[in-house]
Every structure is written in structure tokens, then in C-alpha cells.
Amino acid sequence: MTATTAAPVAASPAHNVKQPSARLRAWATRAPLLPALIFMIAVTQLPFVATLVISFFDWNALYPKAREFTGVDNYQQVLTDADLRHSVWTTILLTVAVVLVSLVLGLALALLLDRKFPGRGVVRTLLIAPFLVVPVAAALLWKHVLYNPEYGLLNGLLHYVGGPQPDWISNTPLLAVEASLVWQWTPFMMLILLAGLQSRDHQQMEAARVDGASNWQIFVYLTLPHLRRYLELGALLGSIYIVQNFDAVFTITSGGLGTANLPYTVYQSFYQAHENGLASAAGVLVVIGSLIIATFALRVVSSLFREEVSRA
């Protein structure tokens, strides 16, 4: 089966070269791909090039005539601006905290769900649900329904045990944003890690058990090494999404109380302050940050992908 499916695929490029109309054939093969490829280049790559160009200009949309080339001035300004530097720090804190906590919680939940117990499907569905609430709606839910100091659910429940009645968002603004994001992203991590757990080699585990390995030993020496790449994948994909997070920051704190992350700052500097050049420079910095994560992410995806291809 594997041989028959692999053979024609491997042979086709060779055919193309031999025949006289090889170039025509190569284009015929490429044709179905081109619309998608051209669309992507036009819509995602061109704007970024434009951002790069604008980032070298001093350009406030309110004074369009004063636009001039300033070289790396915007970058200097971005990197020395206290607010912007703070937003870089906030982005890192937010991303690292949310990714780590949801990864650990996701792993615990995935391990629990990997066992058979009555109602496992129902529990899985309950756990996925937070990820399927529209992000703005989830942020509103946390802001008004859970965190509200007067009638939110958290203080309501604390009331029963005679606990304090803190103003969650004012006291710990960043933590408040992080908790809501952890709630939404833990299911994502759980799903990826559960898929990882279920792709373990059960024969190997059975053999280890027969040889007298304890559950803990199996977890440390077989499960964790196998899960490593799934953990990496979850962490990296989670980072890519959470570095870009806008909804939670915008909704819960409106970027106030020191919670403005880079996407929010970029949004604010051009949408409210109309500083096109500065916003672009900040945008380019976000891209550079993401590219560093993306390089690692692509490596992990490609190693998983190669494995899938060779297994198929």
C-alpha cells in the first residue's frame, strides 16, 4: 500500500523532465497552486513591505505634508520610549506566563483525559468549550461577570466564605488578563497534548510494564520524551497567537494599568495618535520578535511533518 501510493508521486517529476513539453507540463502542474500563492503574496507580503518602508519615515497622519525620510529615527524613538519599552516587557510577561501556565494545566488535563473513565467524552467537551467562546465575549465575561468587585461571581463566591472583596482588575491588571487567557488557551494545549499522548507506542509501553517499570518511570522515560515535540509545538503556536493578542487587552483593561502589549501599542499609535512612522517601526519590531519564535516553530512543525510523511 505504501509503495503503490509513493511510487507515482516520486516518478512524476522525472516524467516531466523527459518529455518535450516538459515545461508546459510543469506549468500545468503548478497552475492549481498559483491563485492561492499569488493571493497570499499580494495580501500578506506587500503590506509588510509597505510597513517596512513607512517605518523609515517621519509621518503623522494629521500633518501629511510634513512627511519625510528619517532613516532609523523611528526605531531609536521606539526603543528609547519608556511606554513602548514597557509594552515590549508586558508582551513578554503576558506571553510567557499564559503559555507556561496553560501548558502545565493542559498537560495535567490531557493526562487525566487519556485514561478511561465514565463520561470522558462529556468532560472533554466541557473542557473544550472555553476555547469556543468568541475572544471578545470571553474577555467581557471575565471583566464584568467574574471580576466585577461589587457583583462579580468571584467576589460573590468569596462572600460565602467571608473572604475579602478585592477589585481584581485594578489590583492585579496583568494577572487578570492572563487568567482569562489561560482559561481560553488551556483547552488548546490539552488538545495538542492529548493527540500526542494518543500517538504513543502502546506496545512499547506494555513491554515496559511487563518488564516491571512503574507508572512514574513510564511517564518520565517514555511519555515525556515522546511528548517533548508536542509540548514544543503547543508552546510555540501558543506564543505566536498570544504575542499577537489584542482582544483581551483591549477589552479587559483597554491597555491601561500597564497592560498595553505591543499589538495594542501599535494599534493605539496609529489609530489614536496617528503616528504612522512610529507605529510601523513598532510593527516591524513585533515581526522580528515573532520571527524568532517562528523559526523554532517551523523547525518543530517540519520535524513532526517529516515523521508523518515518512509514516504515511
Partner 1 sequence: MSATARRVRPSRTAGETGGAKRPGRTRGAGLGLLAWVLGVLFFLPIAWMALTSFHSEADAATNPPSFAAALTLDGYRDFFGVGGGASPWPALINSAVASIASTLLVLILSFPAAYALSINRVRKWTDVLFFFLSTKMLPAVAGLLPIYLFAKNVGMLDNIWLLVILYTSMNLPIAVWMMQSFLAEVPVEVIEAARVDGARLPTVLTRVVAPIALPGIAATSLICFIFSWNELLFARVLTGVAAETAPVFLTGFITSQGLFLAKVCAASLVVSLPVLAAGFAAQDKLVQGLSLGAVK
Nearest-approach distance from CB 82 to partner 1, in angstroms: 21
In angstroms, what CA-CA distances link 168 with 16, 30, 146, 178, 214? 66, 56, 9, 12, 44
CB closer to partner 1, 49 vs 82: 49
Give the span between the Cα atoms of 226 and 205, in whole angstroms.
12
C-beta of residue 63 within 8 angstroms of C-beta of residue 236: no
CB closer to partner 1, 127 vs 181: 127
Cβ of 110: how many Cβ atoms within 10 Å? 24
C-beta of residue 252 within 8 angstroms of C-beta of residue 139: yes
Nearest-approach distance from CB 134 to partner 1, in angstroms: 5
Cβ of 100: how many Cβ atoms within 10 Å? 13
Give the span between the Cα atoms of 35 and 185, in whole angstroms.
34
Which amino acid does the sequence have at 190? M
Nearest-approach distance from CB 112 to partner 1, in angstroms: 4
- Start-to-end CA distance of the chain, whole Å, equals 10
CB closer to partner 1, 97 vs 232: 232
Nearest-approach distance from CB 178 to partner 1, in angstroms: 15
Percentage helix, strand, coil, to 5, in the chain? 80, 0, 20
165 Rama sector, left if φ>0, alpha if ψ -120 to 50, beta otherwise? beta
Nearest-approach distance from CB 207 to partner 1, in angstroms: 19
CB closer to partner 1, 101 vs 123: 123
CB closer to partner 1, 76 vs 302: 302
Residue 268 — φ and ψ, nearest 5°?
A: -70, -40
Nearest-approach distance from CB 222 to partner 1, in angstroms: 18
Nearest-approach distance from CB 141 to partner 1, in angstroms: 5
Which amino acid does the sequence have at 213? A
